[in-house]
Amino acid sequence: MQKTIAVDMDGVLADVEAHALNLYYKQSGILLTKKDIEGRKEAEMLPDGLFYKLVREKGFFREVPVMPGAIEAIKKLSENFTIYIVSAAMEFPQSLPEKREWLAEYFPDISWRNIIFCGDKSVIKTDYMIDDHAKNLDFCQGKAIMFAAFHNQSQNQHLKFGNWDAVTAFFENE
């Protein structure tokens, strides 16, 4: 039986960071780069708690660009592993159909059988979990793999990779 990998969406498959910075630029005229927000917490990514307002807006999750390299990486990993997409979507109910549609567009080969929208991820048991949030990885039941993001810069308690090429290379030896 193939080993299983739980793959997070926001900040891992979906470039939420780029999308939020782009929307902020359109709304404010202020251009923040990925470098500008490095080390900030998610809540402080944009001024006045704007990030959490943006993610609650209709359409936010449907329009997020796909993370560079993610499509190729999932295709490659699917050859030897069973992939589950596991997104903590339940906090934002409006995101549920949007995330489902987004996955159908960018990852049409992922079956509905392998998609999980949840709240906390503590009852998800896969052999590996790829996520950008320590709260999901710290207690996960498989091998934790942190996907680097602006908000986890100082967190190094897990195996950590900066992009999808590095993740794919790691799994070549697993």
Radius of gyration of the chain measured on its C-alpha atoms: 16
Q: Does 36 bind a copy of itself (CB under 8 A)?
A: no
CA angle 128–12–112, rounded 5-degree value: 70
- Residue 114 lies near a copy of itself (rule: CB under 8 A): yes
Is 93 a residue that touches a copy of itself (CB under 8 A)? yes
- Residues ≥6 apart with Cβ < 8 Å to 28: none
- What whole-number distance in Å separates Cα of residue 27 and Cα of residue 32? 12
| 120 in catalytic set | no
* Shorter beta-carbon distance to a copy of itself: residue 76 or 100: 100
Residue from 30, 43, 90, 169 that binds a copy of itself (CB under 8 A)?
90
Identified catalytic residue from 8, 15, 131, 132: 8
Total number of residues that touch a copy of itself (CB under 8 A): 26
Q: Which residues pair with 5 in a beta bridge?
A: 83, 128
Closest CA to 16 of 78, 74, 95, 79: 95
Annotated catalytic residues are 8, 10
Which residues of this chain interact with a copy of itself, rule CB under 8 A?
4, 6, 84, 90-91, 93-94, 96-97, 100-101, 111-120, 123-126, 141
